[in-house]
Structure 1
């Protein structure tokens, strides 16, 4: 099929060296549109948003969709917007989890300086620190080796907003109150039955969460944006069992340290995860109207 010419128009802030038009093969993937604009403008592909000039429909940088399938024809206009400096989602996740992963040991081992106390940490405080380190070390492992991201990048400025939740709420907030000499976990005669029940619940949550992430990983081919319907343990009960198991893990921590800071973290994180889970349920129903088995509960069976 003969090549076609697309008219390129800037949208928003000026883009230096943006070509006035590009020539593409309609039988090739949409990726060539992004590549040609990126090569000419010297911008990363991920920094560009390309939309159809006719109706503003965004074009996806997808190797499985051809230019012809998008409806673009010879002399069609496309609008190009500079999204600003970008950062990879993988890097964002690594930075997010690195905060609490470092903060908990620092506060735990720096107790004498932070609290001006010579009292050694209690057994429950030590156990809390180990559980938190295990949790966030697991999250880092999953980020590097398990997760596949549907979007490659996000605006670089958003990393501060995204990291604040973890660095402050599950990092400084949880660590400061958990390892303080006045913390409920500092008592010298702990109820070990409840503590070990908390550890068992934590382990169930962590293993279930890891399993769920592996299932979600296998839905998407490397480098693709494919979406599928997840099946298996947990997915029969709720839309997002990964969030369910995440909450279970932190309930286990709460049973170990008896800190209101942990309860606060569970409550705020839970509300955010409920919003994400409801959004995902709507997406599944829209993308797979005939094959997706609708869920009544998105995150906690029998509750929400």
Structure 2
């Protein structure tokens, strides 16, 4: 059985793919990864640009070593469809570019305030200084996590999406928040109230550290280069599906209490709405892929609310 080859018909899905042969053969115990490598070699395209599906039911054949041709149910004469996803960019690169924007924009606005605003005093207020430090450190932390902590289930994404993804961070958490935070007419330009500022800083620090802890837990669930999912356990996971989103929201709430800007509130609302959608999808994937090993959660990111 292990040595029996299976001959599959091959056709493009969508636009024509140069050098794509009309059929290919692979051993019945060959893996999804083997088939992707074979098609990639024939078409001279990166594996990450390809998506292979079964023509009969439209199911995607995973590019995984744990998934075999036999388990996919393929037999002689079956047809697979190959789609060229277009130019791709590494997820790690995407994150680095996304977070670099606000990490640079806030210090630039802070130090160039006298040149950006006509009536800005030479010295920034205490709240503006704290806001700049908090936001810059937040995105520096994200950059370091991207480089040293995160392990990605998907290696790449369509290259064009970099503009859409970066726009969210560069425009909203970058230019929008920075412009109104460092303005001499902003509430942040006024005096600091220790009764608000100190609890806000404590909430910010707690959110950032708890978020980091969650990312370290998630890192430990996946082997280097692996796509497998483990059952997440630890601080926050008994409350919601994605405690990293919960703690992210708490950290930004701390920043909001410091700068008291509508632009920060707007960014938080947009971010929470998006993270809530992601959390719901993550819960569905956990239930589907982990089955009985996973304790189902009623709330995705905010206990008793969402």
**TM tier, smaller:** over 0.9
Residue 61 of structure 1 corresponds to 63
Q: Does 1:158 align with 2:148?
A: no
Instruction: Give unmatched runs, 5+ long, in structure 1.
Output: none
- Find the residue that maps to 2:109 and give its secondary structure: helix
**Residue pairs, 1:94-105, within 5 angstroms:** 94-105=96-107
Q: 2:103·2:135 contact (CA, 8 Å) conserved in 1?
A: yes
* CA distance, structure 2, for counterparts of residue 210 and residue 43 of structure 1: 37
SS of structure 1 residue aligned to 2:29: coil
CA contact (8 A) 1:19 1:40 kept: yes
- Matches for 1:31-42 after TM superposition, within 5 Å: 31-42=33-44
Runs of 4+ in 1 over 6 A off after TM superposition: none
Cα deviation 1:157-194 (Å, max 9, x = unaligned): 1111111111111000111100100111111x311231
| Corresponding residue for residue 289 of structure 2 | 287
**Which segments of 5 or more consecutive residues in structure 2 lack a partner in the other structure?**
none
Given candidates 144, 152, 155, the residue that maps to 1:149 is 152
1:301 and 2:303 correspond = yes
Q: Report SS of the residue matched to 2:71.
A: helix
Aligned length: 303
Among candidates 73, 79, 93, match of residue 75 of structure 2? 73
Q: Which residue of 2 aligns with 1:250?
A: 252
The TM-score with structure 2 as length reference comes to 0.96
The CA deviation at 1:118 is 4.5
Given the alignment of the two structures, is residue 222 of structure 1 paired with residue 224 of structure 2, yes or no?
yes
Deviations 1:220-261 (A, max 9, x none): 111121012200110011111000000000011111111111
How far apart, CA to CA, are the structure 2 residues paired with 1:41 and 1:209?
Answer: 42
State the alpha-carbon separation in 1 of the partners of residues 64 and 267 from structure 2. Answer: 37
Q: Secondary structure at the match of 2:292?
A: coil
Is the CA contact (8 Å cut-off) linking 2:55 and 2:81 kept in structure 1? yes
Which residue number in structure 1 is paired with residue 277 of structure 2? Answer: 275
How many angstroms apart in 1 are the aligned matches of 2:154 and 2:300?
23
Per-residue deviation, 1:285: 2.4
Whether contact under 8 Å (1:53, 1:78) holds in the other structure is yes
Cα displacement string for residues 52-92 of structure 1 (whole angstroms, at most 9, x for unaligned residues): 12221110100111221111122321111111111111111
Q: Which residue of 1 aligns with 2:93?
A: 91
Q: Deviations over 1:240-295 (max 9, x none)?
A: 10000000000111111111111111111111111111121222223334232222
Asked whether the 8 Å contact 2:120–2:184 carries over to 1, the reply is no
